[in-house]
Amino acid sequence: MDRKVGSFSKFDIDIGKQQLFLNSLSRTQYIVEQSHKAIQDNSKLLDNYCIDGDLDGILSMYDNDIELIEPQTPICRGLGALQIYYETMKKLRLLPQKRCITELHALSPFIVLERGKYKIQKSKKNFTEGRYFALWINRIEWKILQECRILST
């Protein structure tokens, strides 16, 4: 008995294969949605750590192999270098105060690209603003593997 029912796009697919395909798409959509939610939650948590000046909390959001790229700053590679960077920025009162996600792209079930805008308060009336991207990786939990900040001109 032939189970062909109709066309799916331009191809004839039997009901079983069509259902398998739809289940696969549904599972992929679920993974993407869960990844995006986790990144949004973690990004908000990182914001709170920055506002509070919680260096341990900030560092907990980064992978051991972190690479931070920022204008007029040497590239930070590894948690040790990142710790020195954030300690210095905290002393100068230049921690990012607000991150606003503008885009999320799931590159795989384990890697998500976050793009957005950030703001650093230099004084009561003076802000530095820019764009950033962060590459999140899910080894055991979601952590930032690479981050790049670009000043707005």
Supply the mean pLDDT for the chain. 86
Residue 99 pLDDT greater than 80, yes or no? yes
How crowded is the C-beta side of 27, counted as CA atoms within 13 Å? 8
**Positive or negative CA dihedral for 91, 134, 97, 51?**
negative
β pairing state of 96-108 and 76-77: unpaired
**How high is the pLDDT of residue 1?**
47
Q: Which residues pair with 148 in a beta bridge?
A: 69, 133
pLDDT, mean of residues 26-47:
90
Q: Which residues pair with 117 in a beta bridge?
A: 100, 131
C-alpha angle with apex 109: 105 to 113, nearest 5 degrees?
25
**How high is the pLDDT of residue 142?**
96
Residue 112 pLDDT greater than 60, yes or no? yes
Does 13-151 carry CATH code 3.10.450.50? yes
Ranges of each domain in the chain? 13-151
Please write the tens of the pLDDT for every residue from 73-93: 899 999 999 999 999 988 887
